[in-house]
Amino acid sequence: MLENWLKPLPLDNLWANYSSPWQLGSMTSFYTAGFELPAWHGFPVTLITCDAPGMTEMRDALYSFKCFQDDFDFLDLGVLRKSNESIILPLFKEIFNSGVFPILVTNDSSLNKSFIQALHNVQPNLHLTVMDDRFRCFPFQSASEFPYLDSFLSSLDETSERGHIIGVQSHLVPSSGFLYSEEKGISLHRLGQAKQNLQELEPSIRHADICILEMSALKYPDFPSQIPKSPSGFFLEEICQLSRYAGLSDTLKGFSISGFDFKNTNNQVDAQALAQIIWYLLDGFNNKKGDFPVNFDGMVEYLVEVKELHGLLTFWKSNRSGRWWVQVEKVNGSGANIDLRLIPVSYQDYLDACEGELSTRVLKALVRYS
């Protein structure tokens, strides 16, 4: 069925030069011309790209990089036959339904609408994280800037946190945009605050079901092919670190990279930048700790007395990863049932609580989930 939506890679681009045992190309299976589609359901993660300049160069770089452990299986499913909703929506709905983790690389940011919708059709209550320099929602962005979050935001209520947008620049988002995002349960993280401590962003990524990286989140010198151009933003190394956090997430089900045009830039260097981002995402994926708390085995409980709450606040720390969660309790119905939620937080959030100060992240969790 996937053959209806994907084009195989040409035989002359099998990256035979990167078949050394230590290179990723030697551990990758390809959907290639003249051969049947691989049994893709058996692969944990797959790459799909648009049919645009720079994708061959990106693959050249990616498959020359170091591979991961011996049992890591990676599948390159080739390129999209067309870049439109009629292709994206059924393709990724089938992939998400199968439990395979897709990485989409596309020059067209508008495709993210269908990418998100595909998972939303499979999992209605999804959590979204976006790395971007702006809030892509009408009327806060024009149609030319692809406000693809409209349909996702219109489906949200105001009772829970549904996402984060990391790296927004204050001069690109009106005050009404910040207010609207809060109403919809979307936290906007300003670029300046985000860059002060990348580790504090990890909890905002850990809980995501789907992650979108807009290349305008980077500084222009680090990625000149970005659309639109941005003189300020994250460094490439910082985006690689954030992408690795995404790969480490136990809940993440898909990752999209979008917003670039290689026509008038140095394909080779920017293609390498895309390849690096994908490699660090895969590195995180390959090092998952599997400590998302479906139960409390391997977790250490910390109780903190908070005068502001007139009671105790419960934090949990994973022995496997060192990551932290705060426990939020919600009484349902007559009070007979209590819904426990564990919300990702940082070690600093715990330390602040010990000092009697509740961080913005913890306060939002208490307000939205209690």
| Same domain (yes/no): 232, 339 | no
| Same domain (yes/no): 99, 164 | yes
| Same domain (yes/no): 279, 352 | no
The domain in which residue 364 lies consists of 299-369
Does residue 124 fall inside a structural domain?
yes
Are 164 and 129 in contact by the 8 Å Cβ rule? The answer is yes
Structural domain ending residue among the three candidates 233, 255, 286: 286
Does residue 258 fall inside a structural domain?
yes
| Same domain (yes/no): 274, 361 | no
pLDDT, one tens digit for every residue, the chain (370 residues): 799 999 999 877 666 677 788 999 988 999 998 889 999 999 999 999 999 999 999 999 999 999 998 778 999 999 999 988 889 999 999 999 999 999 999 999 999 999 999 999 999 889 999 999 999 887 777 666 677 888 788 776 655 678 999 999 999 999 999 998 888 889 999 999 999 999 999 999 998 999 999 999 999 999 999 999 999 999 999 999 999 999 999 999 999 999 999 986 667 899 999 999 999 999 999 999 888 766 788 899 999 998 877 789 999 999 989 999 999 987 665 555 667 889 999 999 999 999 999 999 999 888 877 6
**CB burial class (10 A; 0-12, 13-18, 19+) of residue 231?**
exposed
| Same domain (yes/no): 153, 212 | yes
DSSP 109: G
Would you state the structure tokens that stand for residue 261, as one six-digit string? 């045009």
3-state SS, residue 293: coil
The CATH number linked to 282 is: 3.40.800.10
CA-CA distance, 356 to 350, in Å (whole number)?
10
| Same domain (yes/no): 80, 57 | yes
Does residue 31 fall inside a structural domain?
yes
Does residue 291 fall inside a structural domain?
no
Q: List, in sequence order, the alpha helices (H) in the chain.
A: 55-62, 85-98, 112-122, 150-154, 175-183, 191-196, 202-206, 236-248, 267-286, 347-354, 360-369
Structural domain ending residue among the three candidates 233, 251, 286: 286
| Same domain (yes/no): 183, 59 | yes
Q: How many domains does the chain have?
A: 2
Structural domain ending residue among the three candidates 219, 251, 286: 286
Does residue 294 fall inside a structural domain?
no
Would you state the structure tokens that stand for residue 73, as one six-digit string? 């299986």
